[in-house]
Amino acid sequence: MGEKTRNVVFVGVMAALVFVSSRISVPIPLAVGNTRLHLGNVFCLLSGFLLGPVGGGLAAGIGSMIFDLTDPLYISYAPFTFAFKFAMAFVCGLIAYGKNSQALNVRRNIVSGLIGMLLYIILHLTRTFLEAIWFRSIEFMPALASTGYSGLVSLINGAIAVIAAVPLGLAIKKGLAFLN
């Protein structure tokens, strides 16, 4: 199998894992939409660690977008989800692979996971707040409060993702290096 074919296959496998892990969730209804605790972000960051910026971004974006497209509560968010999850894994992979570290430096991976998650949270909360104000005509303070609650859930998701993805990514990368 050629390298390009292998890369496409790995992106597809990671996208499938992002999709399936996004299904493992606890939904939380909000005044301005929905949020949930889930494991999808673990595999979004893991995609960045294993596949680098572009491959990881594609796997995270595609897997998350497909999740949204298969759930009536989230279908309208699919384009945003693709862009935001792509950005999260892209930034994670970009930093994790910087300075030829190949996503094998623990400290660098922690930082890259945190920055990727923070970028995603900022993008997600900005969209959530603007949607509440512009499209749902919710008053400023209730929209801000509900967005803040969504932010709290996002921070919990982000912490779980970084705590799980960093050691998992290192273990998988070391295991794959052993096979080569």
Residue appearing with tokens 């982000």:
158
Residue 119: CB partners within 8 Å, gap ≥ 6? 87, 88, 91
Structure tokens at 28: 């939380």
3-state secondary structure of 155: helix
Of 97, 93, 132, 144, give the one whose Cα is nearest residue 116.
Answer: 93
Query: What is the predicted pLDDT for the residue at 80?
Result: 97
Query: What is the predicted pLDDT for the residue at 26?
Result: 84
Query: What is the predicted pLDDT for the residue at 89?
Result: 98
Query: What is the predicted pLDDT for the residue at 40?
Result: 95
Structure tokens at 115: 């920055």
Alpha-carbon distances, residue 66 vs 49, 86, 155, 171 (angstroms):
21, 13, 23, 27
CATH fold of 3-179: Arp2/3 complex 21 kDa subunit ARPC3 (1.10.1760)
Alpha-carbon distances, residue 51 vs 71, 77, 86, 114, 122 (angstroms):
27, 25, 12, 17, 24
Query: What is the predicted pLDDT for the residue at 146?
Result: 84
Query: What is the predicted pLDDT for the residue at 178?
Result: 66
Residue 129: CB partners within 8 Å, gap ≥ 6? 32, 143, 144, 147
Query: What is the predicted pLDDT for the residue at 29?
Result: 74
**Single-letter code of the amino acid located at 156:** I
Q: CA-CA distance, 44 to 88, in Å (whole number)?
A: 8
**Single-letter code of the amino acid located at 131:** E
DSSP state of 75: G
Query: What is the predicted pLDDT for the residue at 30?
Result: 66
Of 118, 9, 95, give the one whose Cα is nearest residue 55.
Answer: 9
User: What residues of the chain score a pLDDT lower than 70?
Assistant: 30-34, 178-180
Consecutive H or E run containing 34: strand 33-38
3-state secondary structure of 97: coil
